[in-house]
Amino acid sequence: MSKKRKTQRHKGLSNGKTQRRSHSKRTTTAVDYLLPFGKPDGDTFQSMINPEYLLARPGAGEMRPTLASQLCQVLITAQNLFGERDHSYTFLGFEFVNGAPRLLRQHDGKYLIIQLYLNAMHNPIQAYSQIAHEGVHMLSPRHDGRVSVMEEGLAYFFSNWYILQYFGVMPPQSELKSYDIALELVDKLMSKDAHGIKKMRQEEPTISLFTKELVLKYYPAISERTAEKLVAPFDKG
């Protein structure tokens, strides 16, 4: 999993700020958010979002390309691999933002929204990859939103594996070194024992609260230095 195909990151994006309503200035619309990605011919879009993300046949029970159905498959798969999610958190839905994908906490922190980057609006591989990544963060969210190197690396590892497993391609990769380092550290663990995360969560359910001692208990072959790096706070850099 450590050999990855690099993709160019979007740069120079607009800040997405909405102008105040006035007679002289129009309000920023959803179309304006897409301008950095190239405005199509005409003044409007046929569809702002891939219709398959939202449209389904009445009563359809099989797995579908909708965002909700894909999240279901992501959570089922992630829980089978890494242990049950924290059911005290309530998922509210999806948003598209002109910024990095993330798990957004609402109200008292117990309500969760998955925010997807604008580049996922018409690109299913982008969307499902981002959902898979955030799905791992949904297993054991911290109220303060802080994550460890291990959790971020695990989310990156899982999103790569999930897209390759179900769609046969590698998803776009981050160009930030911090993510590569986190991925490589987790890849070492998974190659030694793919069920180690699940075992550790039976003792400490919150991934980002794993201690060096707990990691070494289930992965005694790794060095103390490696264990320390894994449980350290993740810094995107």
- 38: pLDDT strictly greater than 80: no
At residue 18, the pLDDT reads 36
Confidence grade of residue 57 (pLDDT, cut at 50, 70, 90): confident
Report which DSSP code applies to 88: T
49-63 burial by CB neighbour count: b if 16+ within 10 A, else e? bbeebeeeeeeeeee
| Nearest Cα residue to 9 out of 163, 177, 149 | 177
- Higher pLDDT: 188 or 30? It is 188
Instruction: Please count the other Cβ atoms lying within 10 Å of the Cβ belonging to residue 225.
Output: 9
Helix (H) or strand (E) holding 102: strand 102-106
| Residue 87 to residue 91: CA distance in whole angstroms | 10
SS3 state at 98: coil
| Residue 15 to residue 174: CA distance in whole angstroms | 21
| Residue 71 to residue 29: CA distance in whole angstroms | 28
Confidence grade of residue 59 (pLDDT, cut at 50, 70, 90): confident
Phi and psi of 87, rounded to 5°? -80, 0
Q: What sections of the chain are H helices per DSSP?
A: 30-33, 67-82, 124-137, 149-167, 177-192, 196-201, 212-218, 224-231
Do 212 and 227 form a contact (C-beta atoms < 8 A)? Answer: yes
The pLDDT of 113-134, averaged and rounded, is 96
Do 194 and 81 form a contact (C-beta atoms < 8 A)? Answer: yes
In this structure, what is the dihedral angle of CA atoms 80, 85, 90, 95, given to the nearest 10 degrees? -60
Of 55-59, 83-87, 230-234, the one with minimum mean pLDDT is 55-59
Instruction: Please count the other Cβ atoms lying within 10 Å of the Cβ belonging to residue 229.
Output: 19
At residue 166, the pLDDT reads 95
At residue 106, the pLDDT reads 92
Question: Which residues pair with residue 173 across a beta bridge?
Answer: 6
| Nearest Cα residue to 71 out of 50, 88, 92 | 92
147 is written with which tokens? 């994550």
Q: Which residues lie below 8 Å from residue 198, measured CB to CB, with a gap of 6+?
A: 81, 82, 83
At residue 144, the pLDDT reads 87
